[in-house]
Structure 1
Amino acid sequence: MSTAPFVSVTWTDPETGRQGYLVVDRLVRGVCSGGLRMRAGCTLDEVTGLARGMSRKEALHYDPAARYVPLGGAKGGIDCDPRDPEAYPLLVRYLRAMRPYIESMWTTGEDLGLTQELVDRAAAEAGLVSSIQALYPLLDDESEARQRLADAFAVSVDGIGLDALVGGCGVAEAALTALDRAGVPALGTRAAIQGLGTMGGATARFLAQAGVRVVAVSDVKGTIANPEGLDVEALLRARDSFGTVDRAALHPEDRELPGDAWLETEAELLVPAAVSYAVDAAAVGRISPACRWIAEAANMPVLPEAEQLLAARGVTVLPDVVANSGTNAWWWWTLFGDVGPDAEQAFGYLRRSMRRLVGDVLDLAAAQGSTPRDAAHALAAGRMPEINERFGWYR
């Protein structure tokens, strides 16, 4: 894969001077896919790395027998705190500025700091038909496909939208697959999760439902810990839209700790589900010797030098391009018609796909003596030529 992206755009907001970015890593059939994030400190380098990761995620879910045809990879980013009063008007102006790309090639949606509802509302205000309208010409029946996706977004499971659950279901299934292959039962395995937003919250729910004991979660206010296990459902009910938990909902035995305390929790599984670059080389020394797996629910949370140190300790990092790829895949499975607007069907299809993909990655990593990330990148690179041959790409 070329290191130079197909398109790289830096936009400066004329009203605030804040910057936004769009990077299109590659196109397939003239279209690419990748979410839009908003966070203070977002950079072009960050968005470039995320776009490259999206190309790999798309390729890893290629199934010649499926209706879903993988797209190219892209990513958008805005350097602003999503809680800032200027955040929403800034989002509208960014989408208006990116309108030519969204109309012609870039399909986007929620990511860190932004919900799908917010993206949809801002896209409409910016004059767009939809944040994924560039894909519509590739559909066999646009009207039917759009209705199917709308119906899927209307599905709720125990008070949480299906769209907010599929990503965490995929992360949990990736982790559970790794446990199964190591012969470690989920029941009694301990997990600590950084972030209780869309991805972290859903991951916590599905891990807890599988019997994993979630012993720590963190948000912007700090870490909530209980070595006997947290009441995950109570915490999810007490979250605001940014994933911050109302401390009034805590049980008496729950402890409030500093924000980075999740990292050193006695747990076999760590799930960074918030910002990128959360685990650097210095952080590795703080991770408990009990840790055996890290499942990357966030994008790019473990830095390369940290991953090398973790591998030397025998810690397996399940990379973001695999572990957190479920949301993106579910969108397209639904739109293309591989799954319908049904929660059980979606979860079943996603679990089977993740188990197969994680198995392939871990098998290749063992065979070539590499990390799972290197194996995932090799698998993606091996699938891209077939995708290019069958569907064409523009570079």
Structure 2
Amino acid sequence: MAHPESPVLPQAAGPLADALAQLHKAAATLEISDGLHQLLASPRRELAVSIPLRRDDGTLALYSGFRVQHNFTRGPAKGGLRYAPSVDLDEVRALAMWMTWKCALVDVPYGGAKGGVAIDPREHSKSELERVTRRYTTEILPIIGPEVDIPAPDVGTDEQTMAWIMDTYSVARGYTVTGVVTGKPLSLGGSQGRAQATSRGVAHIALMAMASRGIDPNHATAAVQGFGKVGHGAARFLAEAGVRVRAVSDVDGAVYAHDGLDIARLAEHVDRTGSVAGFDSAEAIDPGSVLTLDVDVVVPAAVEGVLTEDNASKVQARIVVEGANGPTTEAADAILKDRDILVVPDILANAGGVVVSYFEWVQANQAYQWTEREVNDRLEERMAKAWHDVVAHSGAHGMTYRESATVLAVERVVEAHRLRGLYP
């Protein structure tokens, strides 16, 4: 069958271009038709909204919000909501596509979605963020729901944000709908283990990747870019496994300790000051150097597009575990492959969050709560199964882990589409 020589949307740039390029390779490998390729490359539904905010001082501000639903073939759309100044429609499109593949790879019955508001939450009060969240929810309310599209926390949002969304949606419906979001507070139907699920999954995958390269965690070193919801927990779990986490960075700075940071004390410092900068038990370093330090494992757990053509040749780690979505550009991927650096892709490495979001959704549907041990055991089982699937496929077909993960995920979506057919 004929295949296009470039991604279906060649004008795309940034994360969307990388996402489309990954799909293009998988489509060629699977020999899917041009029409189906184009269908998979295009969101099923997307909504852009304006969000007016009356600020605490009485002035009016206006923000842009988005919700993109990439695919529904395997089930309701699922994906986070991020608040960041850089949010735009193409970024959300890319993240929604990656969510489709992530859900398929770990075999949860969801399609992919993503949402975002172009706002800096650090510059707004809690009451302002509540008003933004409730207005955004009201604007997207017609296209979300527990059987349609289920938001979750992402960069700049948290369980409180999810509580506001759930309440706004429930008030509009006239009854409480706990399953409309995941990542909620426990007292509102959240799941045990959800808050640390992505981090725990990253650590599970990192430890399996180390074992595959013959690296003993008790003699291993790591660096983590980002110390938010994902990076903080990943650093803690790796340290608990015996890994010396030498460096951590956030948007305000980076710290380094050759013999390993005291992650618990660093977390206390961040709770007090809001940043890793100024931690007195470590040396301040250039945040840009964290990805290229002399360590065994690097975990980019902040934002997309941080490993690029410019710095990939300087990476000294033997393993890169993608805690963030899309942290490695296509050009960087090629460089790391040529240098025999193992890259564990985001749709595998950071899938723990959506796995436990699925568990939370199941518990909401059952009006029943599992224990934290049950959640963590089932999470580890799902992550290990996905890891072994990718490793086996990579070995059998001579592909990188990203290529194998994407092919496996796309193949599962294609098979579901084939079985459902096209209506009308």
Task: Output the TM-score relative to the length of structure 1.
Answer: 0.84
Aligned 1:119-134 pairs, distance under 5 A = 119-125=162-168, 127=171, 129-130=176-177, 132-133=179-180
Q: What's the counterpart of residue 139 of structure 2?
A: 97
Alignment equivalent of 1:40, drawn from 54, 75, 85: 85
Q: Deviations over 1:274-320 (max 9, x none)?
A: 111111111213322xx111111111111111111111111111111
Alignment equivalent of 1:61, drawn from 101, 106, 110: 106
CA contact (8 A) 2:356 2:375 kept: yes
Q: What's the counterpart of residue 225 of structure 1?
A: 256
Size of the aligned set, in residue pairs, is 367
Shift of 1:150: 4.9
Q: What's the counterpart of residue 119 of structure 2?
A: 80
Matched, 1:380 2:380: no
Distance 1:345 1:331 in 2: 14
Q: For the aligned residues, what is the CA RMSD? A: 2.9
Q: What's the counterpart of residue 107 of structure 1?
A: 150
Distance 1:92 1:151 in 2: 19
Q: What's the counterpart of residue 10 of structure 1?
A: 48
Change (3 A) 1:150 1:391: farther
Q: What's the counterpart of residue 215 of structure 2?
A: 184
- Greater Cα shift, 94-103 or 313-322: 94-103
Q: Deviations over 1:236-274 (max 9, x none)?
A: 233339963373x532xx101122221222111111111
Task: Output the TM-score relative to the length of structure 2.
Answer: 0.79
Change (3 A) 1:97 1:394: farther
Matched, 1:330 2:352: no
Distance 1:212 1:392 in 2: 49
Q: What's the counterpart of residue 20 of structure 1?
A: 65
CA contact (8 A) 2:83 2:120 kept: yes
Distance 1:258 1:327 in 2: 30
Taking CA–CA contacts closer than 8 Å with sequence separation of 6 or more, which of the two structures ends up with the larger relative contact order? 1
Distance 1:281 1:131 in 2: 44
Distance 2:185 2:259 in 1: 44
Equivalent position SS for 2:399: coil
- Which runs of 5 or more residues in structure 2 are unaligned? 1-36, 54-60
CA contact (8 A) 1:36 1:76 kept: yes
- Which runs of 5 or more residues in structure 1 are unaligned? 63-68, 136-145, 156-161
Distance 1:391 1:147 in 2: 36
CA contact (8 A) 1:148 1:335 kept: no
Equivalent position SS for 2:310: helix
Shift of 1:130: 4.8
Matched, 1:277 2:305: yes
Q: Deviations over 1:299-348 (max 9, x none)?
A: 11111111111111111111111110111111212432599532222222
